[in-house]
Structure 1
Amino acid sequence: MERNSNIPIRNIYYMLSYAYQTLNLSEYKHIGTERFENVKDLYAEILSIGIPVLIRGGLIKEYVCVEESSTVIKGKIDINSSVKKNALVDKKLVVIYDEFSEDILLNQIIKATLVFLSHSAKIIQKTRRLFYGFLPYFAEVSDIEMNRQLWKNVQYNRQNIRYQFIIDVCRYLFEELLLEENSTYLFTKQVQDEQRLSALYEKFIYSFFKRETDYLVSRPQIHWNVDDGFIEALPIMQTDIVLQKGNKTLIVDTKFYSENMVTRFEGGASKQKSNNLYQIFTYVNNWNKKSTEIVGGMLLYARTTTLNQPHHTYNIKGNKISVLSLDLNQDFNGIKADLFAYAIQFFK
C-alpha cells in the first residue's frame, strides 16, 4: 500500500474523532492541538488518557462462572469433579457458582495491553512508566497472553459499550508494535493496516454525514427482490451508508484498497473493479423504493498514489452510479469540502 498507509497523523485523529464520539470528551481536547511523529504515539497518548477515565468510572463487572474446591457449600456441588480431584480427602467439595467479578475479557485485554506496552522499547520511557502505574488497578484481573485472536471474542452491549473505543485502540497499537518488531510480518502488516484503516474509513464517513449534514443517515440491510420469496443461501446485503433526503436515496459503499482500478496488462486502460461495481448496482436494484423515489449509488474509494483514480458517473438502467475517490492526505477542510460536494452531486 503506497499512500493510504501514510495518511497524516492529524487526519487519523480527525477520523477517530468522528468515528468515536468519545474523543469529544474534555479529557481528550488537548490531543487535537499536539503534533505526533507517528501513529503509535497518538494511540499511546489516547490510552494514557482513556484508561484512567475507565478506572475512575469503575472497572466493569460481570457474572462469571467459578469452579473451586471449598469447605463452604455454595452454588452447585459437582460430585464427579469432587471425586476426580480427590477433594473429599481434604473434606472439601468442588462447587460451581456465579461471581460478580472484574475478571472479564475486556479488563483482561486492557491489563495485557498495559503489561505489553510497559515493556515495549517502542514506547518512550515516561509513557511506559505511566502504563505500569495503572496495573495495580487491575490486580483482580487475570493475566492473559496477547494475540490477535483476542478481539474476535469481544462482544459489546449497553453496559460495556464505553469500553469499545479503548479496546479498539489497544488492538490498533498492539498490531502496530507487534508487526513492526518482526520483519517477516511486513506483508501481513500491510494487509492489517489496510483492514484496520478500511474499518476506520467506513466509520468515519458514516459518522461525518451523521454529524455534519441534515441527511437521514442509516446502514440498513437490503432484502433481495425475489419473485417467489425463496432467499435461502443468498448473501446478506449490508450497506455501509445510506443517505436520504426528500424523495432521493443514495447508497454509499466505502472502499479502502492499495489499488482502486485494474488493468489487464501493463500499459493497458484502467478499468473499474467489476466486483465492486456489480455490488453497488445490485444494492441499488434491490432497494425497495417507493413509486416516486429516486435511488442512486456511490462507490467511495480512499485515493492512492496511482495516476488513474476513479472519478466517473454512470447512468445505468435509470440509476445514477458514481465511482469517486477521496484524498485523505489533503488538509482536513479539503476532505470535508469533497464529502459535501460528492453528496450534493446527487441531491442537488
Structure 2
Amino acid sequence: MIPVANVYYLLCYAWDFPLSRDHARIASLPFLTRPDFFAALLIRGTEQLLKRGPDRGYTTVIEESPRPRGKLDLVATAKAHGFAKPTVVCASDDLTHDTPQNRVLKATLRTLAHCRDVNRRQADHCAALASRFADVRDIALSPVAFAAVRLSRNNRHYRFLLQVCRLLFENRLPDPRPGEVLFADFVRDDRQMARVFEAFVRNFYRREQSAFPRVGSERFGWRRVEASAADRDLLPEMRTDVSLTSPTRKLVIDAKFYRETLSSHYDTPSVHAANLYQLLAYLQNQEAKPGQSLEGLLLYPTTGRELDLNYVLHGQRVRVATVDLAAEWQAIHARMLEVIA
C-alpha cells in the first residue's frame, strides 16, 4: 500500500507542481481514507485562495433597462416590444466571481461535503467553504465544466486545486444512498496509476538530476524498412516514456505500473516479455551519436520483490529495476537517482 504522503509526492511530480511544505505536513497526518486526505488539501488550498481573493472574470449580462449601458441590441429590443416601451435591450460585461474555475471548486467542495469517506468535521468544513462562494452558480461537475477552465499567469495558483478536483471527479462512484457520494481509490486503478507513474518518472528526472541535460518523451519511426509508402504509413509510431540524453549517454526508460513485477508461465517467473520486446524495439530503432552509449531501463514499482537485473541483449545494455513506493520518500528519491547512475 502506498502511504498517503507518497501519493502526494507522486502527484506533485506527475502534475509538475512544486512540493509544498504545508501540503507535505498535511500528507503526513494519519488519514483513514484518501478522500479525507484530498478534502484536507482542498480545504487548506481554498482557505488560502479566499485570503488572497478568488479569481474574477468578465461575463456578458443581457438586460432590458431604461438606462442603456454597454452595447445596444436594437434587433432584440424590436423583437421584445417593438420600441413601444422606453427601454432597450443591451449587453454589458460585468466583473464577477462566477468563473469556470470557481464553479468547479465550489462543486467539488459540495461533493466532498456529502462523501461518506470524509470525516464529519472536514465534510462540514467543505460545506462552509462552498457557502462562501455565494455569487458563484451551482453546477454539476462534468468534462465540459473542466474544459471551460482557462488558466493564465494571473490565476495559475488554481492549478493544483483543479487537478485535485479533476482526480476526484474521475473517481466518483454512484452511491445507492440518496444524497451521498463515494470515491474509488485511484491507487488501485492500474490504468490511472500507469499514467501517474510515467509522468512522475519523467518529471522527477527533469527536476532532480543534472547528469542528463535533455529529459523528455521521444517519438520516432522504424529504421531500415522496406515497404510501399502506403504500407509504411500503417506501421505504429514509437514513443518512449522517458528519454534521458547527455553527450556521452542516452538512456531510454519504459516506466510500467503492474500489480506483479514479474509475469509467470507454469509457475516460472520472468520479466514481462512484451515490455522487454518493446524496449528492445526502441533501442534498435534509434541511433546513438559518435561517443554516445545507448542503454535501456525497465522501471517498475516494487510489488513484494525488488529487482535489479542487468543484461546485454543483441548488443544492447538493458537494466530491469524496481522502486519501492511504500518506502520513506528519501529512500525513493535515492533509488530513483541510483537506477540511472
Specify the alignment match of 1:3 in structure 2.
none
| Identical-pair percentage | 26
Specify the alignment match of 2:122 in structure 1.
127
Specify the alignment match of 1:248 in structure 2.
249
The answer to whether the Cα contact below 8 Å between 1:296 and 1:321 also exists between their aligned partners in 2 is yes
Is 2:290 the counterpart of 1:294?
no
Residue deviations 1:261-312 (CA, integer Å, cap 9, x gap) = 445x6546645241x344433443444642222222222122335x7x8754
Specify the alignment match of 2:280 in structure 1.
281
Residue identity matched to 2:6: N
Aligned pair count reads 330
Structure 2, unaligned runs of 5 or more: none
TM-aligned CA deviation for residue 326 of structure 1? 2.2
> Counterparts of 2:156 and 2:129 in 1: how far apart (Å)?
21
> Counterparts of 1:92 and 1:281 in 2: how far apart (Å)?
74
Specify the alignment match of 1:218 in structure 2.
215
TM-aligned CA deviation for residue 110 of structure 1? 0.4
- Which of 113, 128, 133 is the matching residue for 1:138? 133
- Which of 7, 23, 32 is the matching residue for 1:37? 32
The answer to whether the Cα contact below 8 Å between 1:206 and 1:217 also exists between their aligned partners in 2 is no
Residue deviations 1:11-58 (CA, integer Å, cap 9, x gap) = 223334544675644543532542222322221221121112222333
Closer/same/farther in 2, CA of residues 63 and 51 from structure 1, 3 Å limit: same
Specify the alignment match of 1:339 in structure 2.
336
Residue identity matched to 2:62: E
Moved more, 285-294 or 188-197: 188-197
Moved more, 105-114 or 39-48: 39-48
Specify the alignment match of 1:327 in structure 2.
324
Specify the alignment match of 1:199 in structure 2.
195
Is 2:316 the counterpart of 1:315?
no
Moved more, 32-41 or 14-23: 14-23
What's the TM-score once normalised by structure 1's chain length? 0.75
The answer to whether the Cα contact below 8 Å between 1:259 and 1:304 also exists between their aligned partners in 2 is yes
TM-aligned CA deviation for residue 168 of structure 1? 1.6
> Counterparts of 1:261 and 1:86 in 2: how far apart (Å)?
76
Is 2:54 the counterpart of 1:55?
no
> Counterparts of 2:236 and 2:169 in 1: how far apart (Å)?
33
What's the TM-score once normalised by structure 2's chain length? 0.76
Moved more, 162-171 or 212-221: 212-221
Residue identity matched to 1:203: A
TM-aligned CA deviation for residue 85 of structure 1? 6.7
Structure 1, unaligned runs of 5 or more: 1-5
TM-aligned CA deviation for residue 128 of structure 1? 2.0
> Counterparts of 1:115 and 1:59 in 2: how far apart (Å)?
17
The answer to whether the Cα contact below 8 Å between 1:222 and 1:283 also exists between their aligned partners in 2 is no
Closer/same/farther in 2, CA of residues 338 and 106 from structure 1, 3 Å limit: same
Residue identity matched to 2:299: L
SS in 1 for 2:189: helix
The answer to whether the Cα contact below 8 Å between 1:148 and 1:175 also exists between their aligned partners in 2 is no
> Counterparts of 1:334 and 1:281 in 2: how far apart (Å)?
29
The answer to whether the Cα contact below 8 Å between 2:214 and 2:245 also exists between their aligned partners in 1 is yes
Residue deviations 1:105-159 (CA, integer Å, cap 9, x gap) = 2211100011112233332222122222222442222211134664466554444
Matches within 5 A, 1:183-198: 193-198=189-194
Closer/same/farther in 2, CA of residues 328 and 30 from structure 1, 3 Å limit: closer
Specify the alignment match of 2:303 in structure 1.
304
Residue identity matched to 1:252: I
> Counterparts of 1:259 and 1:164 in 2: how far apart (Å)?
33
Closer/same/farther in 2, CA of residues 26 and 232 from structure 1, 3 Å limit: same
Is 2:159 the counterpart of 1:164?
yes
> Counterparts of 2:280 and 2:74 in 1: how far apart (Å)?
58
Matches within 5 A, 1:251-266: 251-263=252-264
> Counterparts of 1:78 and 1:252 in 2: how far apart (Å)?
63
Specify the alignment match of 2:64 in structure 1.
70
Closer/same/farther in 2, CA of residues 245 and 93 from structure 1, 3 Å limit: same
The answer to whether the Cα contact below 8 Å between 1:296 and 1:319 also exists between their aligned partners in 2 is yes
TM-aligned CA deviation for residue 100 of structure 1? 4.5
Closer/same/farther in 2, CA of residues 162 and 236 from structure 1, 3 Å limit: farther
**Cα RMSD (Å):** 4.0
